[in-house]
Amino acid sequence: MKILLKLLENNEDFLASFSNKDSGSKSLTYSNLKVVVGLDFGTTYSGFSYCLVANKQNICSNEIWPGKVSKLKINTILWYDVKHNDIVLWGASALARKPSR
């Protein structure tokens, strides 16, 4: 919660960095924001949370992942096809196919 409060304190400076005063375009304001998303791509586990700006006290964290894994974070692992071009599986499903050493 402290992180969210700090982000709100620094909101004006943060949003000012996105405005382009030379183009004459409408700058982004806090009132334009509807959802705040937090992504955590870790080397071992990954996860995400979000909250609606209108209800800052209700932070929602994903707890259901493919493969019926019920945890806040999922293994950061990708399983590619034999040509290494396309992702076939990710997370718990890819970990289940991991060859034993």
Residue 54 has a pLDDT of: 81
Structure tokens at 84: 């290494």
Phi, psi (deg, nearest 5) at residue 94: -70, -40
Residue 57 has a pLDDT of: 78
Residue 47 has a pLDDT of: 92
Domain boundaries, the chain: 2-75
Report the chain (101 residues): mean pLDDT per 10 consecutive residues: 54 51 54 84 91 82 82 89 91 82 68
Residue 70 has a pLDDT of: 86
Residue 86 has a pLDDT of: 92
pTM: 0.56
List of residues 6+ apart from 68 with CB closer than 8 A = none
- Terminal-to-terminal C-alpha distance of the chain: 41
Residue 91 has a pLDDT of: 87
